A = this chain, B = another copy of it.
Amino acid sequence: MIQPLVPRLAIIGAGLIGSSLARAAREKHLAGTLVVADADPAVCERVRQLGFADMVTVDAAEAAEGSDIVVVAVPVGASGKVAEVVGPRLKPGAILSDVGSVKGFVVEAMAPHVPAHAHLIPAHPVAGTEFSGPDAGFATLFENRWCIVTPPEGAAPEAVARIVALWRAAGANVETMSAQHHDLVLAITSHVPHLIAYNIVGTAAHLEETLTSEVIKFSAGGFRDFTRIASSDPTMWRDVFLTNREAVLEMLGRFTEDLTALQRAIRYGDGDALFEHFARTRAIRRSIIEQGQETAAPDFGRRAAEKPKHEDS
């Protein structure tokens, strides 16, 4: 029999990301033993029903005990607490990792709890959907998506290599960078986009009631595109904004400056400035599609997924 990539793999937190990693590990036989822990007994029960783990427990410490790799997949704000519980149980040579959307904070919160005989190698798979919980996960979530690994200074190369290998085996492409750089890049590729999506949906919700119902009705004009990411998990996103404050405020500042310029162009009827701006942004989408990170199908290919309901008014 071939030796599995990870003799004993523990995943703490069985939500969208944790359960997707567990499913991928199960399907691709990446772990000799796959242990899943979740603080919520109901989630544990559901994981047992779904059957993608060898062992399920509410006790993160028990899951970590004897594991070669422990992946923490809980909201960023809870990662320090989990590390506190898990750290003392890590065996010599074990690797503690995570999947959090913010990396600088996670290192600060987790590192103090990692014993000298173990390794902390944080990671962030840049893949997800607007759903959460163990039922939302699926084994192919990471296929052809990027996973960013942020080894702390002086990290053991062989430990980094094992985390890189795990994510490659789960289907992802892997990039390494510093936690600080990660947090800046993600502020503009993910955190600020989520913030402005949450914001415009909020603005619409604050309108007079009749207007809000019209926003829902006529949302196919563009608005509905924003509602997808604005329906993501509130706990996860609260934690992201609380823990990546600096980089988010920096990128938000740039966004607002640029928006002010567009607003002026509208106010003063500067059609050339508007045209020039609108013509430049197409190239970015083209590159994203060329790099296989987006579909070229019109409307995200929504029509294939939709089941049209006919209603007459």
Interface residues, chain A, CB within 8 Å of chain B?
101, 126-131, 136, 140, 143-146, 148, 168, 173-175, 184-186, 188-207, 211-212, 214-232, 234-235, 237-238, 241-242, 245, 248-249, 251-252, 254-256, 258-259, 262-263, 265-267, 269, 271, 274-275, 277-288, 291-295, 297-313
CA A225 to CA B251, docked complex, whole Å: 18
Q: Measured between C-beta atoms, what is the minimum distance from A226 to chain B in Å? A: 6
Set of chain B residues within 8 Å of A238, measured between Cβ atoms: 271, 274-275, 278
Inter-chain pairs besides A216-B291, A230-B284, 14 sampled, C-beta below 8 Å: A128-B220, A185-B211, A193-B225, A199-B259, A199-B262, A205-B281, A206-B258, A212-B284, A216-B293, A217-B291, A249-B267, A292-B309, A294-B302, A300-B300
10 intermolecular pairs with C-beta atoms under 8 Å apart: A129-B298, A216-B291, A228-B300, A231-B282, A234-B275, A234-B279, A235-B275, A237-B274, A294-B302, A295-B307
By the criterion CB–CB under 8 Å, are A298 and B131 in contact?
yes
Neighbouring B residues of A219 by C-beta, 8 Å: 189, 288, 293-294
A232 to chain B, nearest CB (A): 8
Q: Is the CB of A255 within 8 A of B200?
A: yes
Whether B281 lies near A266 (C-beta < 8 A) is no
Residues in chain B near residue A305, CB distance under 8 A: 295, 297, 300-301, 304-305
Q: Which residues of B contact A267 (CB under 8 A)?
A: 245, 249
Q: What residues of chain B lie closer than 8 Å to A277, measured between beta carbons?
A: 198, 202
From B201, B214, B300, contact of A284 by CB (8 A):
B201
Q: Is the CB of A281 within 8 A of B188?
A: no
Residues of B within 8 A of A245 (CB): 266-267, 269
State how many angstroms separate the Cβ of A185 from the closest Cβ of chain B: 5
Name the B residues within 8 Å of A204 (CB-CB).
188-189, 284
Query: Is A217 a contact of B258 with CB atoms below 8 Å?
Result: no
With a CB–CB cut-off of 8 A, which chain B residues contact A222?
189-191, 193-194, 197, 229
Top 9 A-B pairs ranked by shortest CB distance?
A301-B305, A190-B221, A234-B278, A129-B298, A300-B300, A227-B285, A292-B309, A193-B222, A297-B305
Interchain CB contact under 8 A, B266 and A249: yes
Q: Please indicate the chain B residues that have their CB under 8 angstroms from the CB of A173 in the complex.
A: 311-313
CB distance from A199 to the nearest CB of B (A): 5
Give the docked Cα–Cα distance between A308 and B312 (Å). Answer: 38
Q: List residues of chain B with CB within 8 A of the CB of A274.
A: 234, 237-238, 241-242
A281-B201 in contact (CB<8A) = yes
